[in-house]
């Protein structure tokens, strides 16, 4: 599996699945979540409302993931995950690792081979980008997952919104 970090707009990626840094309500928000909902159109919100009505009445727990269709995105699926919010005291890196690994689990379960992933929790949830990117968190989680599922995915692409966040992920990827 290839792992890369690129600058860009996650809503414009030509991949099978896009990971959404969602909030537990799944009903849209700011940052990556708002951008994905806006680009995917009303079909995405309808799918999320259906999940809340049927299988997730209390919302999606921190560190977990669930898939919906991609709506108007190029991607066939959106994998929603909820990262921990450091601003409200959720500072356990294991929860953040879980957001990444559960996203890959769900992407593989729906049949995705290529996945675009944002810097979950590095925006409004207050985590430092270098901490999120670290070999101990995002990059390490993806590498570990790939080692356990060597043929499940072809590509995990971290799509990052700023030069500083991109640099943090490039540094983490350069570490062995």
Q: Are 165 and 134 in contact (CB under 8 A)?
A: no
Tell me the CATH number at 145: 3.40.220.10
Pair of tokens at residue 169: 């992920």
Strand partners, 3: 156
Active site residues: 33
Q: Are 3 and 176 in contact (CB under 8 A)?
A: no
Reported as a single tens digit per residue, the pLDDT across 11-58 is: 999 999 999 999 999 999 999 999 999 999 999 999 999 999 999 999
Reported as a single tens digit per residue, the pLDDT across 64-100 is: 999 999 999 999 999 999 999 999 999 999 999 999 9
Q: CA dihedral defined by 106, 127, 28, 55, rounded to 10 degrees?
A: 40
10 Å Cβ neighbour count for 121?
31
Using alpha carbons, select from 99, 59, 94 the residue that is nearest to residue 82: 99
Number of domains in the chain: 1
Residue 53 makes CB contacts below 8 A (sequence gap 6+) with none
Instruction: Kindly tell me if the per-residue pLDDT of 176 is higher than 80.
Output: no
CA–CA dist 151, 173 (Å, integer): 20
By residue range, what is the domain housing residue 14? 2-174
């Amino acid at each position: 599996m290839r792992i890369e970090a690129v600058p860009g707009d996650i809503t414009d990626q030509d991949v099978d699945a896009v990971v959404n840094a969602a909030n537990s309500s799944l009903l849209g928000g700011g940052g990556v979540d708002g951008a994905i909902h806006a680009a995917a159109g009303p079909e995405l919100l309808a799918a999320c409302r259906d999940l809340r009505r049927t299988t997730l009445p209390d919302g999606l727990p921190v560190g977990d993931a669930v898939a919906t269709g991609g709506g108007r995105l190029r991607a066939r699926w959106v994998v929603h995950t909820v990262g921990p919010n450091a601003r409200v005291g959720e500072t356990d890196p294991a929860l953040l690792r879980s957001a990444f690994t559960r996203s890959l689990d769900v992407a593989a379960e729906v049949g995705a081979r290529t996945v675009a992933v944002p810097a979950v929790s590095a925006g409004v949830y207050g985590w430092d980008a270098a901490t999120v990117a670290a070999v101990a968190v995002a990059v390490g989680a993806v590498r570990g997952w790939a080692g356990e599922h060597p043929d499940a995915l072809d590509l995990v692409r971290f799509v990052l919104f700023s030069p500083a966040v991109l640099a943090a992920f490039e540094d983490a990827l350069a570490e062995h």
